[in-house]
Structure 1
Amino acid sequence: MKSLKILVVLTLLLVVSAFAFTQIDSFESGYEVGDVATDFKLKDVSGKYVSLSDFEEAKGFIVVFTCNTCPFAIANEDRILALDKQFKSEGYPVIAINPNNPEVQPGDSFEAMQERALEKGFTFPYLFDEGQEIYPQYGATKTPHVYILQKDQGQLIVKYTGAIDDSARDASTATKHFVQDAVQALLNGEPVTPNSTKAIGCSIKV
């Protein structure tokens, strides 16, 4: 009888472990180029909830996981604003999402987001991933981390993932403008090359 109980416990442990590893694998992989991204509904700094489906006229989106406190994210804020200014009217608006846990990083609280958006004059939605449910779906690991989505027959297809350009800190030294070139290629009906780069920034605070 005792042996049977031990066997049952061991079996349960194996099941739980297998589930945990599956969750970790799913978390680490996230979306790859060509995958279909799901929509979300997150609170904007205005207090309203925003979904990608709200943008009926958009051809796609520049989704940027960013925050208030990371030096890399701060160094890219003007570049994110410039991307929104350049491509919003072309059908590719910026959607910024703060994935950090404010209990771990108090400077990334919702109130701090509101202050930062006002201070910088953000022209795009700045959304709070409350509960940290969206960034794992995408597979974002850094701030900033960009995903370009294109609408295709009612679906959101991932066309690019990675960095904004090849200069994580200083925009003036950038020689390759990955996101800008990727969106322009999509607008021209051309393939995106490269369609994936390594995001450089601070790790997401969980």
Structure 2
Amino acid sequence: MKTFKTILAIAVIVIASAFTLKSTSEGYKIGDTATDFKLKNIDNKLVSLANYPKAKGFVVIFTCNHCPYSIAYEDRIIALDKKYKALGYPVIAINPNNPEISKGDDFVSMQKRAKEKGFTFPYLFDEGQKIFPQYGATRTPHVFILNKENKALKVAYIGAIDNNFSDAKAANEKYVENALDELLAGKKVTLNSTKAIGCSIKK
């Protein structure tokens, strides 16, 4: 009987540990502190969030070259950067895809795409795919707004850019803009989580 109870107790611990590992591997939740990273930009220079000491926060967007959802949002991402960078929230774009699986998402293609579109923001390559799992990004595009609080970068919003990927003019819920406007007004983000719509990240 004792042996059975011992086995049962071990099984409970193993199962509990499995759930704990699963929950911690799912990435950031609202209110979590985001750690910095250092990734190669399209200009071949390493970029980290520490390079922006005057920033109030960041709009970290996992995106890529080939996904039709990402392509549809490119102009809106540029517009977000142009509007909010001056207000303290620059866009930091990261390509999380494995270029061996996702053709057209290699570093040279990133450089070409950024030049064609006139990206106004860093476009970083997640080499080795180490950063997107930390964030819990699953789609392209997938947005994480970080807000600086007492020198720590707190996750304030996770999800989609707006509610209409195919037609920017038809989008009547601009999630990222609304969140940034509330943060700039010193308020908490009312709608801090939405479902990211896009292509799955290629591993």
**TM-score using structure 1 length:** 0.88
Specify the alignment match of 1:193 in structure 2.
Answer: 190
Q: What's the CA shift for 1:20?
A: 7.4
Q: What's the CA shift for 1:193?
A: 1.4
SS in 2 for 1:63: strand
Specify the alignment match of 2:89 in structure 1.
Answer: 92
Q: Distance in 2 between matches of 1:21 and 1:102?
A: 31
Which amino acid letter does the alignment assign opposite residue 90 of structure 1? L
Specify the alignment match of 2:139 in structure 1.
Answer: 142
1:104 corresponds to 2:101:
yes
Which residues of 2 match residues 43-62 of structure 1 at below 5 A?
A: 43-62=40-59
Which residues of 2 match residues 19-168 of structure 1 at below 5 A?
A: 23-27=21-25, 29-168=26-165
1:170 corresponds to 2:149:
no
Q: Distance in 1 between matches of 2:136 and 2:126?
A: 13
Q: What's the CA shift for 1:168?
A: 2.0
SS in 2 for 1:107: coil
Which amino acid letter does the alignment assign opposite residue 26 of structure 1? T
Identical amino acids, percent of aligned pairs: 61
Q: Distance in 1 between matches of 2:165 and 2:105?
A: 20
Q: Distance in 1 between matches of 2:128 and 2:20?
A: 20
Mark the CA change 1:75 to 1:153 in structure 2 (over 3 Å): closer, same or farther: same
Which amino acid letter does the alignment assign opposite residue 160 of structure 2? A
Mark the CA change 1:183 to 1:103 in structure 2 (over 3 Å): closer, same or farther: same
Q: What's the CA shift for 1:100?
A: 0.2
Q: Distance in 1 between matches of 2:45 and 2:117?
A: 19
Q: Distance in 1 between matches of 2:18 and 2:45?
A: 34
Structure 2 unaligned regions, length at least 5: 1-9
Specify the alignment match of 1:5 in structure 2.
Answer: none
1:184 corresponds to 2:181:
yes
Q: Distance in 1 between matches of 2:156 and 2:16?
A: 31
SS in 2 for 1:181: helix
Mark the CA change 1:192 to 1:18 in structure 2 (over 3 Å): closer, same or farther: closer
Q: What's the CA shift for 1:165?
A: 0.3
Which amino acid letter does the alignment assign opposite residue 188 of structure 2? P
Q: Distance in 2 between matches of 1:21 and 1:45?
A: 38
Specify the alignment match of 1:4 in structure 2.
Answer: none
Which amino acid letter does the alignment assign opposite residue 49 of structure 2? L
Which amino acid letter does the alignment assign opposite residue 204 of structure 1? I
Q: Distance in 2 between matches of 1:51 and 1:62?
A: 13
Which amino acid letter does the alignment assign opposite residue 24 of structure 2? S
Q: Distance in 2 between matches of 1:194 and 1:61?
A: 17
Q: How many residues are aligned here?
A: 192
